Amino acid sequence: MPTPTILIVEDNADLQKIYQTVLTGDGYNVVVAGDGEAALQQVAEYHPDLILLDMLMVNLGGLEFLRAYRKTADADAKIIIVSNLASPELSQEAIKLGVDRYLAKTQLTPRELAREVKTILAAPETPIASAHQ
């Protein structure tokens, strides 16, 4: 089985580095993007198995990225939103767009995030969305 590739879409460089370090240490191939526009380019190049997605970013935010991503031929990655932006409306819209998890950054350690990644990658193809807020 090939090593899963994870795309981290996060505009905070410190969080990017922390998530990348933890997930690389767990044996994943990790690619990073600082916004949704860069993420769409990374998707086309790397075809990630899972995307960790922030919601508030410059250029192209999380929901805009999701809408554009779902129109691509490669729209089969599992998606975990990791954001400080928590609202029922946003969660519902993300779930409609096929997000597997919606997690609050403030309530999540990098190790807990790594466990969520492992769980989602091992899960069957049907989304099991939950809002941990």
pLDDT in tens, 82-102: 988 777 777 788 888 889 988
Sequence-distant (6+) residues with CB within 8 A of 48 are 5, 6, 7, 31, 42, 77
User: At 1, is the pLDDT very low, low, confident or very high (cuts 50, 70, 90)?
Assistant: low
DSSP string, 25-61: HTT-EEEEESSHHHHHHHHHHH--SEEEE-S--SSS-
Farthest CA pair distance, the chain:
38
Residue type, 17: K
Average pLDDT value for residue range 48-74: 87
Please say if the pLDDT value at position 133 is more than 60.
no
Q: Which CATH class is domain 5-132?
A: alpha beta
Q: Looking at residue 107, what DSSP letter applies? A: G
> How far apart are alpha carbons 116 and 49 in whole angstroms?
14
Q: Per-domain residue ranges for the chain?
A: 5-132
Please say if the pLDDT value at position 36 is more than 50.
yes
Specify the pTM. Answer: 0.88
Q: What is the pLDDT of residue 33?
A: 95
